[in-house]
Every structure is written in C-alpha cells, then in structure tokens.
C-alpha cells in the first residue's frame, strides 16, 4: 500500500487484504467484497481507519508485523507502526483508492 500526497509517495507499506466472502448464514448472510475502487475516509481511531461502506484499514495493536492469522473479509490489515505513522496524515473526507 502507498501513502501519496500530491503525487509524491510518502510511505510504502506491506498489507494483507481480506478476501471476498459471505458473512453470516441464511437470510442474514451478507456478501462482502475485497476493496476495489474509490472510498472515502469516514473516521479514524488509534488502531483503525474506517472507510465509507464499512471497510476498515486496521492493525493488531499487539504486533508489529503482519500476522499469519486471517484478515477479516473486505478489510485491509497493516503493520501497527505503519498505521501509527500514517494516521496524522489521514483526515475524514479524504479519498482512498484501491486498484
């Protein structure tokens, strides 16, 4: 993943992207897709950046490397140090692109 501002690459980060999946069962099952296209930052917390549509960029606060555990469907897992480093540069309303 890249953090860019005005065409300048500020940071390169390894990430793990959650898969497409069906979450839930029966009538309450909801299809969740891996992120694609343009999203907007909705809110920011110490360990996650929420995007419109319910998607999150998140880190495991207890780890500084990408764990081998599964990533929640439709979300993006990044290292804790990377998330902490980019949060000051991310503001609600900013566009985020997945391609």
Stretches in the chain below the pLDDT threshold 70: 62-65, 67-69
Query: What is the tens place of the pLDDT at every residue in 20-43?
Result: 888 888 899 988 888 888 999 999
Number of domains in the chain: 1
**What CATH number is associated with residue 65?**
2.40.440.10
Q: How many contiguous H segments (helices) and E segments (strands) does the chain have?
A: 1, 10
Q: Which residues pair with 5 in a beta bridge?
A: 8
The torsion region of residue 26 among left (phi > 0), alpha (psi -120 to 50) and beta comes to left
Which domain does 54 fall in, by range? 15-98
Q: From 14, 37, 52, 42, select the one nearest 98 (Cα to Cα).
A: 37
State pTM to two decimals: 0.82
In a domain, 3, yes or no: no
């Amino acid at each position: 993943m890249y953090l860019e501002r005005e065409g300048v690459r500020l940071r390169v980060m390894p990430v793990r992207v959650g898969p497409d999946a069906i979450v839930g069962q029966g009538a309450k099952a909801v299809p969740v897709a891996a992120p694609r296209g343009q999203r907007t930052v909705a809110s920011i917390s110490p360990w996650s950046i929420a995007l419109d549509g319910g998607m999150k960029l998140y880190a495991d606060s207890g780890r500084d490397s990408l764990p081998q555990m599964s990533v929640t469907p439709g979300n993006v897992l990044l290292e804790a140090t990377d998330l902490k480093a980019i949060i000051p540069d991310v503001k609600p309303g900013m566009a985020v692109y997945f391609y």
